[in-house]
């Protein structure tokens, strides 16, 4: 199983004010909050962690059938070179994030070695293929200008 | 506040986070924030914070986990408001 999540950073800027009182505390563990507080680019860290959680949740949700909104129970660890892992109740999902100026895209897999095998396609409006579902992507993520597919 | 009043107040909170006017017009108890209203999951946090402010309640993580539909959210609001009053 594969997961992926894309964040359009320009849209995130207007759609979400993470500096709002109590916002970070609702979704990030204390460890994640210190990563954000000490980051050179806090916006980037917020959305990187968020896309890690979302991409891992998408696998976990399909695997367990559990649907809930408990972002704080998804605990992220960030490693060098954009790698990371997300712990959801003891299930570990490995992630790799692609951080660009205008978007952040994270892929997730339950087995570390599978990360290297994932094929990624990212499309920007207006160039979204209309028939992408026929290509049977393993996971689909939309946000703002972007459509991200993984195989 | 009775259930209908809670749902009305909730509609006002939800509106700014959905661009799907048709789905907003048809909000009822069974409406799902993500599936029906296409609300971005990062904005669910804003809804939780707005609910806390509007109803003067505190929503713990276990309650927040259930807040994916109008029905579940209205139930949590009713339950927490009652606890406050008591």
Give the H or E element holding residue A83: strand A83-88
Domain assignment present for residue A58? The answer is yes
Q: What is the mean pLDDT of residues B13-28?
A: 94
Q: What is the mean pLDDT of residues A10-32?
A: 97
Does B86 score more than 80 pLDDT? no
Q: What is the distance between the terminal CA atoms of chain B, rounded to a whole angstrom?
A: 14
Q: What is the mean pLDDT of residues B50-55?
A: 97
- What is the count of structural domains for chain A? 1
A16 contacts chain B (CB < 8 A): yes
Q: Do B49 and A12 touch (CB under 8 A)?
A: no
CATH, residue A61: 3.90.470.20
Q: Do A27 and B45 touch (CB under 8 A)?
A: yes
What would the pLDDT profile of A93-151 be if each residue is shown by its tens digit? 999 999 999 999 999 999 999 999 999 999 999 999 999 999 999 999 999 999 999 99
B43 contacts chain A (CB < 8 A): yes
| Predicted local distance difference test score (pLDDT) of residue B83 | 86
Instruction: Confirm if A71 and A80 have CB atoms less than 8 A apart.
Output: no
Q: Residue A140: count other Cβ atoms within 10 Å of its Cβ.
A: 14
Domain assignment present for residue A55? The answer is yes
Q: What is the mean pLDDT of residues B28-46?
A: 96
What is the percentage of chain B residues whose pLDDT exceeds 90? 90
Q: Name the minimum distance, in Å, from the CA of A102 to any CA of chain B.
A: 18
Selection from A124, A94, A114 nearest residue A106 by Cα: A94
Domain assignment present for residue A131? The answer is no
B72 contacts chain A (CB < 8 A): no
B50 contacts chain A (CB < 8 A): no
Domain assignment present for residue A139? The answer is no
Domain assignment present for residue A89? The answer is yes
Domain extent at residue A78: 3-117
Residue B85's pLDDT band (boundaries 50, 70, 90)? confident
Domain assignment present for residue A16? The answer is yes
Q: How far is it, in rounded angstroms, from Cα A64 to Cα A129?
A: 31
Q: Do B41 and A15 touch (CB under 8 A)?
A: no
Nearest CA in chain B to A23: B45
Domains of chain B: 3-85 (1.10.1200.10)
Q: Which residues in chain A are contacts of B40 at CB distance < 8 A?
A: 15-16, 143
What would the pLDDT profile of A40-88 be if each residue is shown by its tens digit? 999 999 999 999 999 999 999 999 999 999 999 999 999 988 999 999 9
A40, with CB counted inside 10 A (0-12, 13-18, 19+), is exposed
Q: What is the mean pLDDT of residues A22-37?
A: 98
Does B58 score more than 80 pLDDT? yes
Domain assignment present for residue A60? The answer is yes
């Amino acid at each position: 199983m594969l997961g992926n999540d894309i964040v359009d950073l320009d849209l995130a800027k207007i759609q979400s004010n993470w500096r709002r009182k109590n916002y970070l505390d609702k979704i990030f563990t204390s460890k994640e909050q210190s990563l954000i507080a000490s980051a050179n680019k806090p916006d980037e860290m917020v959305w990187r962690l968020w896309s890690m959680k979302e991409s891992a949740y998408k696998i976990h949700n399909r695997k367990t059938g559990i649907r809930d909104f408990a972002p704080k129970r998804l605990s992220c660890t960030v490693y060098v070179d954009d790698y990371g892992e997300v712990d959801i109740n003891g299930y570990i999902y490995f992630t790799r994030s692609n951080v660009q100026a205008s978007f952040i895209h994270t892929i997730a897999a339950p087995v570390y070695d599978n990360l290297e095998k994932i094929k990624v396609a990212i499309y920007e409006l207006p160039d979204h293929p209309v028939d992408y579902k026929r290509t049977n992507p393993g996971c689909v993520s939309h946000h703002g200008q972007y459509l991200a597919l993984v195989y | 506040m009775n259930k209908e009043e809670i749902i009305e107040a909730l509609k006002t909170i939800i509106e700014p986070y959905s661009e799907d006017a048709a789905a907003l017009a048809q909000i009822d108890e069974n409406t799902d924030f993500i599936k029906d209203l296409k609300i971005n999951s990062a904005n669910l946090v804003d809804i939780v914070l707005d609910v806390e402010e509007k109803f003067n309640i505190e929503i713990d993580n276990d309650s927040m986990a259930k807040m994916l539909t109008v029905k579940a959210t209205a139930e949590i609001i009713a339950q927490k408001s009652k606890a406050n009053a008591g």
